[in-house]
Amino acid sequence: MQYQVPDILAEAIVATFELAARGPFDLRAATRFLEGFAPAGARGGDPDRLRLAFPVDGDWRIAGVEVVPAGAGRVRAVASGAADAGRVRAQVARILSLDVDGSGFAAVGAADPVVGRLQDRYPGLRPVSFWSPYEAAAWAVLSTRVRIVQAAALKQRIAEAAGEVVEVGGTAVTAFPAPARLLALEGLRGLPERKLTALHGIARAALDGRLDGAALRAADPEAALRSLQELPGIGPFSADLILLRGAGHPDRFPATERRLHAAMADAYGLGADPDLATLHRIADGWRPYRTWVSLLLRAWREDETGEIAGPRRPATATR
């Protein structure tokens, strides 16, 4: 069956809630980050409003959520749809890393001047996750062995072909298809058969509970990574992506992410090919926020090199 995108679903509001950050947080920093984050497909939006539409973990009904500032370190979210309100709240908190106590993050920068300079450059920026581990896994399949911009375009075409369009704050937002709808997608121009087969396997894994964000966060990281690598199309790099940027694990150093390693080499003056043991030793000083510092380094590297999206603005990791 080939889905056609339905008319816009104007769902009733099901919940309004506030989330408070422990430690620094700036919603504008999150929206600016998403502007350069190809999988999000965010372009030219309102920096004070974040509009999301996603299948809700374990529920799989679509939620539309508008997030706006609500005072220092707080955001207010208005959620619509038929999904469970508690699940929606937990997922939004995880997406914005507001489920992590960041009150100790400044101390990491005080102890490590490189981190301190990055915190100065990107004040209030926390990792912004994929909307779910399920979407992160789908992205991992789509982005393998192709340019990121091509994968982002294909992801958007899948959403338009099989997803649902919801009204969020007066704006139409297309959600990536829930697992059952992705399973029903029989083909799409430009989507190789092997990737469609892998996507169907990802959808089945999500329906079986193997991509539950809370469960992945609660598991031993090594066990979680081994389990993720059993999924079709998922290797070590992709497993790290799903755990760190899908489930929002705040404290793991991705040993397979070469762009991060290059950023560390530049920022710490390590030369062209630092050994992995040295990188691990440096990253140990970032605990318990290794994922957070990794995100700042990758943001800085992208601003300086434009290696993914092209040059945007000059950046420096020095004061």
Task: Assign 319 a pLDDT band (cuts: 50, 70, 90).
Answer: very low
More confident residue, 308 or 9: 308
What are the backbone angles phi and psi of residue 114, rounded to the nearest 5°?
Answer: -60, -45
Q: What is the pLDDT of residues 121-146, one digit of tens each?
A: 999 999 999 999 999 999 999 999 89
Farthest CA pair distance, the chain: 56
**pLDDT at residue 38 in the model:** 63
Place of tokens 């926390």: 126
Q: What is the pLDDT of residues 64-107, one digit of tens each?
A: 999 999 988 999 999 999 899 999 999 999 999 999 999 999 99
Here the tokens at position 104 are 């100790």
**pLDDT at residue 14 in the model:** 72
* pLDDT exceeds 80 at position 3: no
Q: In this structure, how many other beta carbons lie within 10 angstroms of the beta carbon of residue 298?
A: 19
- The overall average pLDDT reported for the chain is 90
The class (CATH top level) of 13-106 is alpha beta
**pLDDT at residue 43 in the model:** 52
The amino acid occupying position 64 is G
Domains 13-106 and 133-164+176-246 share a fold: no
* pLDDT exceeds 60 at position 248: yes
Q: What is the pLDDT of residues 201-233, one digit of tens each?
A: 999 999 999 999 999 999 999 999 999 999 999
Query: Does residue 168 contact residue 77 with C-beta atoms inside 8 Å?
Result: no
**pLDDT at residue 42 in the model:** 54
- How many residues in total does the chain contain? 319
Q: Is 308 left (phi over 0), alpha (psi -120 to 50) or beta?
A: alpha
**pLDDT at residue 5 in the model:** 44
* pLDDT exceeds 90 at position 16: yes
Beta bridge partners of 75: 19, 69
Query: Does residue 300 contact residue 263 with C-beta atoms inside 8 Å?
Result: yes
Q: Assign domain 133-164+176-246 one CATH number from 3.40.50.10800, 2.102.10.10, 3.40.50.2300, 1.10.340.30.
A: 1.10.340.30
- What is the domain partition of the chain in residue ranges? 13-106, 133-164+176-246
Sheet holding 50-55, edge to edge: 13-20, 74-81, 62-69, 50-55
The C-alpha R_g of the chain, in whole angstroms, comes to: 19
Q: Are strands 164-168 and 74-81 parallel, antiparallel or unpaired?
A: unpaired
Here the tokens at position 102 are 């960041």
